[in-house]
Every structure is written in C-alpha cells, then in structure tokens.
Amino acid sequence: MQSDAEVVIETRNLTKVYRDFWGRQKVRALKALDLEIRRGEVFGLLGPNGSGKTTTIKLLLGLLFPTAGQALVFGREATDVTKNERIGYLPEESYLYRFLTAEETLNFYGRLFKISPMVRRQRVADLIEMVGLSWAKRRQLKEYSKGMTRRIGLAQALINDPELILLDEPTSGLDPIGTREMKDLILRLRDEGKTIVMCSHLLADVQDVCDRIAILYQGELKELGRVDSLLKVQDVTEMKATGLSDDVRDQIQQLVARHNGTVLSWGNPTTTLEELFVKIIRESQEHPGRRVQDTLREQDNQQVQETRQANV
Amino acid sequence: MILGMVLENEIQPFFDWLPRAAMGWAILVSMLALAGIVLSWLVLALRGDPWSALAAIKRAVIYGVQDLFGLSMRRTLALAWLAVKESIRRRVVVVAAVFVVVLLFAGWFLDPSSANPARLYLSFVLTSSSYLVLLLALFLSTLSLPADIKNRTIYTIVTKPVRASEIVLGRIIGFVAIGTALLMIMAALSYVFVVRGLNHTHEVALAGLEPEAGASLTNGKTGAAGRWKGSTAKVQQHRHEVRVDASGTVWVEYDHGHRHRLSLAGKWPPPAGSRVVVETGPPEGLLVARVPVYGKLRFLDRNGKPTDKGVNIGEEWNYRSYIEGGTMATAVWTFDNVTEQRFRRNDFPRGLPVEMTISVFRSYKGDIDNGIPGTLLVRNPRTGLEAEIQIFRAKKLTGDVHEIPWRFRMPNGGEKDLLRDFVADGKLEILLRCLEPGQYFGAAEPDVWLRASDASFAWNFFQGYFGIWSQMVLVIGFGVMFSTLLSGPIAMLATLGTVSIGLFSDFIHQLSAGKALGGGPVESMIRIVRQDNLSTDLTGVQAVAAHVIDKVVQKGLAVVAAAVPDLGRFGYADFIADGFKIPADLIARQTAIMLGFLLPLLIVGYILLRNREVAQ
C-alpha cells in the first residue's frame, strides 16, 4: 500500500451521540474519530461490543447521521446516495427478503444499479457460482441455513462490482471452510484493487487479512496502525534454526535446559492480535481517555524484559 | 318504483372547476411547505443553533432537488416489483377467495324478488368489494415499510443508490398494482354474479291468454285480430302482464324495474287447443346506465307570477319546494339542447321518457287510496304552446316514468310534433301542476329529467370500480406516507383515522364550521353528560369555557378536514345502483382531487424517510 494512494474514506472529528425522543443525550457512541482509508487497503475495525465500530460503518453508509464532524466517502458526504453506486455492503446479519429466491434477490439488487440486463444476468449467475449456491438458487431464502444466507448476502454486496466494500462481521456464522473461503475472497478482492473495510470480533480472521486496523473502545480510537508493525515485539529475539550440528544444538539445548526451556526458533517474535487486543482493552479500562500506544509499548517491553530476566 | 337520485350539490363542469381548484391547491400546498420549513427550523434551532439549522434545511432542500432529478424509473419499478412479490408471498390472493365466498353466501341472502333487485345486488357487490380492497390496502401499505425497517432489510436497500422518493413511490406503485389486479378480479366476478343473479326468463302459455274485455273476436277463440291479455309464469316472485294487440305485436309490461322481449313469430295465432309455451327473453332495463338530462327549475306562484321558491311546508330539509294544488302554482323545468341526436327516436319508440320523483304533502287526508291528481305538460318557451303529457296520481313520495309522445294530437284537431313545435332554440319546458285544491306537490331541480339514450352499463360498472380504485390509491398513499415515520400498528391506526375522517368528511366540515347541531365537541360532551337537548342554550361558566375550547378545536378540525380527502365522494355506488350514468365531470374532478392529494403525500413521505436515520 502506498501512502499516496487516493483517499477513499475520510472521517473528520466524526461524532455520534444517540438521543432519546426529547433530544436528551443517551449515549456517546463515537467520539471525534479521525480516520483515513486509502484505495487498496484492507482495513479492520476492532472493538468489543458497544465500542462504536458498527456505528462507524453505519455513519459511513449514511444509515445514521453524524452529530458532529464529517464522514466522507469518495469525497462525498456519506448521506449522499450517489456514492452507493461504488459501494458494496454486507450487513452484520444478512438482512435480505426471505420471500425471494437467491436468483430473484440478486436480480432485484442488480436492478437498483445502472447495469444493463445482460451484464446483470451474467453477473448474477457468476456470483451464485462463486458463493457455491448454484444448487439452491431457486429456493426461497427462508429455507436457507445461516451460512447460506451469509453467502448470498456477500453475493448481494458484490453485485455492482464495487470499489469499496464494507463488511460487518464477515465470518460470523460461517464454518471453518466458509471462513477460509471468505478470507481468501477478501484477499482476492484486495488484489483486484478494491478497498475493504471490515469490522469483526474474530481477531484471528482480522489478523490474517487486514493491512491496517483501528481498535475502538467506548467510542474512542485506541490504536491505529499496520497489523505487522503493531504485532511486532521489537527487542525480543526469536530463533528458528535447522541443520545445526548436534554439537551446537546440544550446547544451546543445554543452555536452555539449564533454564528449563526448549528452543524452537530465533528471530523477532510476534504476539497474537488477541493478546494485543486484550491488553489495549485492559489498559483503557485502567486509564480511561488516554491513547494507549505509548504506555502500552513501554509496559510491553518491560514485561518482555522481565520474562527474559526470569528465564535467564 | 324507482326514485330519482337526490343531488344536493350540483356537479360543476370539470373545466369550470379546475382553475379555481388548482389555484386553491397550489396555495394550500405552498403554505404547507412553508409551515413545514419554519417548523423544522424551529425544532433544529432548539437542538442546535439557528445558523446550523438554516444550513441543514438548505442542505435538505438541495438534496431534495437532486433526488428529484435522480429519480429513476428502473429502480422505482424494481422496488414496485418487490412490493408486489411481498404481497403475493403474503398470500393477498386469499382476499379474492374471501370475496368469492362472500358472493356465494350473498347468493342465499340477496332477494331477487325485491322491488328493485338490481339496486340490492349492485350496491352489495360494490360495497363489499370496496371494504375488502380498502382493508387490504390499509394492511399492505402500512405494515410493509416498518417491517423492513424493523428487520433491517432496509439496510440493504438504502445502501444502494436508491432515493427515498423511489422507496415511497415504488411501494405505492407496487401496492396499487396488486390492488388493481385484485379489484379487476372482483369486478369481473361481481359483474358475472349480478348479471347471472338477476337473469331470468318467464314462460307464457299461449292458451292462457284471454281476449281483453270489450275486444271483438272476429275469428272465434283462436282469432288473430282483437286484443289479448294474460300474464307470464311467476319467476323470482313476480310475473309480468302480457298483451297482444290486434296486429299481433306483443307487449310485456314493466314490473320490478324491468321487462322482457317476447316474440310470437310463427306461433300466433295458436291453433285451437294448443299447449304452446313460449319463453321470454332475458330481463331488460334492470342493469342500465341512464343518462339524465337535468333542467333548470323555477316556480310560479298561485297567481301564475314568477317566484323564487314554492311554498315551504315546514320541512327541515328544504331540498324540495312545494306548489299548491288547484291554483296556477307551477313548477317549470327548462331543458336545454333538446335535439334529435341526443334523444334518438329509435331508442324510445313510444315517446321521449321523462322521469319524475315528486313528494306529496296533504293539508287534509282526502282520498288516501287514490292519491293526488297532478298533470305534466310540455310548453314551447317562445310561443307558449302547451300540451298535456299525462294526468297522473301520486301518493307519498312517488317515482314515475312518463313518455312524451313524439306527436301530439291537439284538442282542436291538428297534430303537433314534439321536436318541431314545442322546442325553441333547443329549449323545452315541462310544467308540473297539482290538480287538487289544498294539497301540495314538492319537487327539486333533479326531480324531473329527460332520459337521453342510455350509456353502456358495463362501462358504467367499470367506472364504479374505478371510484373504488381511486379510494384505494388514496388509502395506499396515506398508508405508505405514515409508514415512513411511524411503526406498523401506529401507521395503521393513523391511516384508519384518516379514512374514517375521509368517510365522514361532511360531518367534520360541519363540525369545524360550527354548523353541527349541539355545538362543538366539548359542548356536545357537556350536553351528553347533562342529558340536555340539542337546541337549548348552554348557560354558566362551563358554557363560556366550552365555547372557547370548541373554537380552538374547530380550527384544528378545519385544518384536518382540509388535509383529508372526502373519500365518500369517490363511492359512485349510488349512481350505478340507481341505474344512472356516473357524470364524467364528477369522475374527472375526483380523479384530479386524488392526484392532488397523492403528490403532496409522496413529497411528505420522501421528506420523512430521507431525514430519518433508518438504522436507529
């Protein structure tokens, strides 16, 4: 990803306050979010329930109106429907018309775009083929399993060959194979130059596909950056070796054995995203209102050193 | 006996009505728009600051204009298709089945032997179809959009390049399409039901015909000459009189609002001792669309001098005005444009039909059994030439059909032609006088009319369903508009309220104008609680308070009454059931009114949906 690529999504000071009927403030769902997402990125929005990630997506789609600040998609206000020509959206659950068949569903959504009937029919057939539902395309969606509805939901989001795809919990409700296929598809779409924004609880999935992530907690941005750099623990050495002579290996093993351990690899170890996520959330709970990055990093290093010392 | 229609409000020609109505509409709509803008500014300003509120309204207006130009028929029709599909999958077709069941049961209960069976059948099918369709329209239109918002299926719609206006319009079109299809099925079923339910023939046993008293028999019992009479067999609780005149022409007389055709070609005279039985044709005149030609009514007083009105006999309803019997008092109808093209001699061989409904007021009992004698005359408005059409007797409220002969035999010998000698510049006068002193006849302008050549009944029937269709479109429009803002059940209640106000529009108008007997809502409530009668004055503090509150409520009611269409006016059932052609001016006006309501509904629905956070 080049940093000079076109900005697809931009939020400035984006704030959403939910109010009750009388206009009294109920919840501050999103506080002054500043984001920039560029063409070709796979961007992950992470956060526990109620952190504001779905609110962010809804604001970007114009399903909600910002209380303050701006959400721009392709440089246009998010409430401008014309931007939707270039957007595909897979909602959290597949909110589709259960009385339609798969084919009717895709044809219907296709007709909402400026696509010629011939192209539309071809695309409908291709998408059904792609999500592997050819055998059930004439059945009403109410007979579909959750996984199948998910797939047709995805096909629906891609009917207009969108440049920007927003996926809300794309892998929820899918079996391991389905999850794998979904992830492969996301990477394939990225390779085609599309921009993808997804939000998810399933951290392993995010870790696998996202280039950059933002972690939200209680409506505030806590962490933002490239996945690989965020997960790298800088001053820990990790070793992964093979073909060492028995002598050397013995020495190392003896050395490690003296400290009750086994050496597997050598290099820069990475933590898992899950670990990072839990740490950020805990830190936020302890020190509310503070950007986590710096403190966390210090703490992190400290912890690693402590472990090492203990090991040594 | 078929009475004429009561027409209290004259129907203005459409193009006379349109300019003023359109102007009023434009003013009302712009005032509404202005009020809406000011109100939303106030609300926004209270929540934020005045300037950002102004900016927000400006933005909304710009979006509105953009969305108007971005309106796509392709997307609208896709959404309409969805609404149709939804309705079908919700099994609305069941309504058609319900209608069939209703008709099946109705067959048991509707009595074809009643005095005017056509009226019974027609008003039944029209009323039941309209209730069923309006109920269906109410359910479909109000529940659909809220369900989409609740199930969040709307998310997948509004994240496509779909304008809010397309969602509203698409739904209206879709539901109207499904309603139209159902209504067409109902219309076809009703038509068959009515025609079949009323269809019957009578048998006539020729041997049962007897020579009319006083007629001479030239050929003995089986002779052809002379006048014969008898009656048909009894079917559907009635029989018709049959006459065969000297030339062998058969007359089957009117009874129960219809007659039959009977041909005796080759069977008359019947050989002696024959048992020939002849079947009549189907009923005629039951299902008709009469075209009344109304005249202008003026009165002459007892000395024959022109006067504004006749005598007031103390009736509260001053629809009819009365003329005194045995004097020069006359009701004079002047008819325009009486021409050969309009009243074709072929359609009415026996004479130009003039239909009359008059009410009788007796100042003393007199001869109850025979009724009050009256006379009907024609007069040439220029020359004053008069000729009597018929002397008749009328009991209470009487409907009667007379035929003005095409040629009059004048008392002084000579013959006069109706169109040539009595019509001047297309004008013809018909005069009504009461002949018995001290008794009165009452009449209103639509009570005496000439009958032009009939229009097609099937087409009239179809237009009646068009009236129901217009009502349905309005209900769908209101339903969809309310459902953009309210949840399903609440939208349904709101629409139901609107429909009720629309059906009782006359009363609401009266109430808001303070013309309703017993005062406004609060005053009426006090009267009900205190069991006061309607005409005494309320006294005391509560009376003053009630008046003040009522004044405010009346203003509110006036606004509501103006915002809700008079749905009752779309029910053309009375015209069809009474066998009248629905005036084209009325249909044109009501259709214009329907469109006049639909457009603002569409705009309001758009604004509400566009500025709503569907995800909340």
Are the CB atoms for B442 and B351 separated by under 8 Å?
no
Chain B contact probe: residue of A54, A84, A95 with most B CBs at under 10 A: A95
Question: Which of B42, B155, B165, B614 should we substitute to test contact with A (largest number of A Cβ atoms within 10 Å)?
Answer: B155
Contact B468, B129 (CB under 8 A): yes
Q: Which of B78, B89, B152 sits opposite A99 (nearest CB)?
A: B89
A306 exposed, middle or buried (CB, 10 Å; 0-12, 13-18, 19+)? exposed
pLDDT at A255 over 50: yes
* CA distances (Å), origin B183, targets B136, B187, B595, B610: 11, 6, 19, 32
Query: What pLDDT score does B412 carry?
Result: 79
Tokens of A115: 């696509």
The closest of B490, B502, B493, B495 to B480, measured between CA atoms, is B495
Q: Quick one: tokens of B469?
A: 């269709």
User: In this complex, which of A80, A99, A108 lies closest to B78 when CB atoms are compared?
Assistant: A108
Cα radius of gyration (chain B): 31
Per-residue confidence band for B3, with pLDDT thresholds at 50, 70 and 90:
low
Whole-angstrom Cα distance, residue B380 to residue B372? 26
The three-state secondary structure class of B516 is: coil
pLDDT grade for A270, boundaries at 50, 70 and 90: low
Residue among B363, B430, B366 at smallest CA distance from B393: B366
List the single residue in B with minimal CA-CA distance to A107: B78
Lowest-pLDDT range of B169-173, B225-229, B586-590: B225-229
- Report which of residues A142 and A254 the model is more confident about: A142
Helix (H, G, I), strand (E, B) or coil at B500: helix
Query: Are the Cβ atoms of B152 and A96 closer than 8 angstroms?
Result: no
Amino acid in the structure at residue A165: I
Of the partner residues A82, A89, A100, the one whose CB lies closest to the CB of residue B159:
A89
Place of tokens 């100042």: B363
Give the three-state DSSP class for B432: strand
Residues 6+ apart with CB under 8 A from B398: B1, B356, B357, B358, B359, B360, B371
Which of A219-233, B284-298, B461-475, B577-591 tops mean pLDDT? B461-475
Q: Where are the beta strands (DSSP E) in B460-552?
A: none
Q: How far apart are CA B239 and CA B567, in angstroms?
A: 41
Interchain proximity B162–A97, CB inside 8 Å:
no
Q: Which residues pair with A73 in a beta bridge?
A: A9, A76
Tokens of A195: 């921009």
Interface test with B, best of A83, A106, A111, A115 (most B CBs within 10 A): A111
pLDDT at A236: 55
Q: For A115, which residue in chain B has the nearest alpha carbon?
A: B74
For residue B604, the tally of other CB atoms under 10 A from its CB is: 20
Q: Do A112 and B162 touch (CB under 8 A)?
A: yes
- What pLDDT is recorded for position A47? 84
pTM of the full predicted structure? 0.83
| Residue B540 backbone phi and psi in degrees, to 5 | 90, 180
Cβ contact B153–A84 (<8 Å): no
The answer to whether the Cβ–Cβ distance between B78 and A111 falls below 8 Å is yes
| Cβ–Cβ < 8 Å for A162, A113 | no
How many angstroms separate the CA of residue A305 from the nearest CA in chain B?
A: 48
Quick check: A113 and B160 CB within 8 A? yes
* C-alpha span between B422 and B409 (Å, rounded): 13
Q: Do B74 and A111 touch (CB under 8 A)?
A: yes
Amino acid in the structure at residue B371: G
Cβ neighbors of B225 (< 8 A, separation 6 or more) are: B216, B217, B218, B219, B246
Average pLDDT over residues B215-223: 43
Helix (H, G, I), strand (E, B) or coil at B341: coil
Distance CA B610, CA B68 (A): 12
Mean pLDDT of A121-131: 91
Q: Are A108 and B78 in contact (CB under 8 A)?
A: yes
CB contact under 8 A, A63 and B615: yes
- In the predicted model, what is the mean pLDDT of residues B185-209? 87
Q: Is B9 exposed, middle or buried (0-12, 13-18, 19+ CB in 10 A)?
A: exposed
Question: Can you give the pLDDT at residue A243?
Answer: 66
Residue A108 distance to chain B (closest CA, Å)? 6
What pLDDT, on the 0 to 100 scale, is given for residue B474?
Answer: 94
Chain A residue with minimum CA distance to B89? A99
Coarse DSSP helix, strand, coil percentages of chain A, rounded to the nearest 5 percent: 40, 25, 35
Query: Do B156 and A95 count as a contact with CB atoms less than 8 A apart?
Result: yes
Q: Summarize the confidence of residues B298-326 as an average pLDDT.
A: 84
User: What interhelical angle do B164-198 and B117-151 show, nearest 10?
Assistant: 160
Q: Is the predicted pLDDT of residue B4 greater than 50, yes or no?
A: yes
Instruction: Using the CB atoms, write b or e for A221-249: b if 16+ within 10 Å.
Output: bbbbeebeebbebeebeeeeeeeeeeeee
Do A217 and A29 form a contact (C-beta atoms < 8 A)?
no
Closest CB to A112: pick one of B70, B161, B615: B161
pLDDT score, position B255: 77
Q: Taking every pair of C-alpha atoms in chain B, what is the biggest distance, in angstroms?
A: 108
Mean pLDDT of A168-177: 80
List CB contacts of A117: < 8 A, sequence separation 6 or more.
Answer: none
Would the CB atoms of A111 and B161 count as touching at under 8 Å?
Answer: no
Closest Cα in chain A to B81: A108
Sheet holding A7-19, edge to edge: A25-38, A7-19, A68-73, A76-77
Query: A156-170, B35-49, B76-90, B484-498: which has the minimum mean pLDDT?
Result: B35-49
Distance CA B219, CA B60 (A): 95
Q: Please tell me the predicted confidence (pLDDT) of residue B178.
A: 93
Neighbours of B301 (CB within 10 A): 18
Q: How many Cα neighbours within 13 Å face the side chain of B591?
A: 13
Q: Indicate yes or no: CB of A62 within 8 angstroms of CB of B47.
A: no
Give contacts of A111 with chain B, Cβ < 8 Å: 74-75, 77-78, 81
Peptide bond into B306 cis (omega under 30): no
What is the C-alpha separation between B480 and B217, in angstroms, rounded? 76
Cβ <8 Å between A112 and B615:
no
The pLDDT of residue A262 is above 70: no
Would you state the structure tokens that stand for residue B458, as one six-digit string? Answer: 């099937």
- Give dist(CA B554, CA B563) in Å, integer: 14
Nearest CA to CA, how far is B97 from chain A (Å)? Answer: 22
For residue A99, list chain B residues with Cβ-Cβ distance below 8 A: 85-86, 89-90
Closest to A96 (Cβ–Cβ): which among B70, B90, B153? B153
pLDDT at A1 over 80: no
Q: Amino acid identity of B578?
A: D
Through-space distance between the first and last CA atoms of chain B, rounded to whole angstroms: 63
The predicted structure's pLDDT at residue B388: 84
Asked if A61's CB is within 8 angstroms of B152's CB, the reply is: no
Amino acid (1-letter code) at residue A157: A
* CA torsion, ordered B177, B183, B186, B188, to nearest 10 deg: -80
**Reported confidence tier of residue A305, pLDDT bands at 50, 70, 90:** low
> What pLDDT digit, counting tens, does each position of A188-239 carry?
999 988 999 998 877 778 888 888 888 888 888 888 888 777 776 655 556 6
* The two three-digit tokens of residue A120, written as one number: 């539309």
The 10s digit of each residue's pLDDT in B413-446 is: 788 888 888 888 888 899 999 988 888 888 888 8
Q: What is the pLDDT of residue A242?
A: 62
Mean pLDDT across the stretch A137-163?
Answer: 88
Q: Which of chain A's residues have a Cβ under 8 Å away from the Cβ of B63?
A: 79-80
> CB–CB of B41/B57 below 8 Å?
yes
B604 neighbors B480 (Cβ within 8 angstroms): no
Give the C-alpha distances (Å, rounded to integers) separating B210 from A34, A241, B239, B249, B263: 107, 130, 16, 15, 18
Mean pLDDT of A81-93: 87
Paired strand residues for B427: B424
The Cα A133–Cα A124 span in angstroms is: 11
- Which of A108, A139, A169 is the best mutation test for B, with the most CBs of B within 10 A? A108
Is pLDDT of B219 > 60? no
**Does the structure show a pLDDT above 60 at B326?**
yes
Q: Whole-angstrom Cα distance, residue B425 to residue B569?
A: 35
Range from A79-88, B235-244, B421-430 carrying the lowest mean pLDDT = B235-244
Find the CB nearest A64 among B47, B70, B613.
Answer: B613
Give one word for A113, left, alpha or beta, with left for phi > 0 and alpha for psi -120 to 50.
beta
Provide CB contacts within 8 A for B85, sequence distance 6+: A97, A99, A100, A104
pLDDT tens digits for range B490-546: 999 999 999 988 888 888 888 888 777 777 888 888 888 888 877 777 777 878 888
Residue among A61, A79, A113 whose CB faces B161 most closely: A113
> Which of B47, B67, B90 is facing A23, going by the closest CB pair?
B47
| AA letter at B98 | V
Mean pLDDT for all residues in chain B: 84
Mean residue pLDDT of chain A comes to: 80
How far apart CA A71 and CA A78 sit, in angstroms, is: 6
Rg (alpha carbons) of chain A, rounded to whole number: 23
Q: Name the H helices within chain A.
A: 53-61, 102-111, 117-130, 146-157, 176-191, 203-209, 227-231, 246-258, 273-286, 293-311
B614 chain-A contacts, CB cut-off 8 A? 63
Q: Do A112 and B75 touch (CB under 8 A)?
A: yes
Q: End-to-end distance of chain A based on CA atoms, in angstroms? A: 40
Report the C-alpha gap between B64 and A288 in whole angstroms: 43
Give me the interface pTM, i.e. the ipTM.
Answer: 0.78
> For residue B615, what pLDDT is reported?
76
Q: Are B157 and A111 a contacting pair at CB < 8 A?
A: no
Residue B541 CB neighbours (<10 A): 7
Give pLDDT, residue B104.
84
Beta carbons of B260 and B283 less than 8 angstroms apart: yes
CA of A292 to nearest chain B CA: how many angstroms apart? 31
Q: Minimal Cα distance from B151: which residue of A?
A: A95
Q: How far is the alpha carbon of A190 from chain B, nearest alpha carbon, in Å?
A: 21
Residues of A whose CB is below 8 A from B48: none
pLDDT surpassing 60 at residue B361: yes
The dihedral over CA atoms of B313, B316, B322, B325, expressed in degrees to the nearest 10, equals: -30
* Chain B residues within 8 A of A97 when measuring between CB atoms: 82, 85-86, 153
Q: Give the lowest-confidence range in A279-288, B53-62, B100-109.
A: A279-288
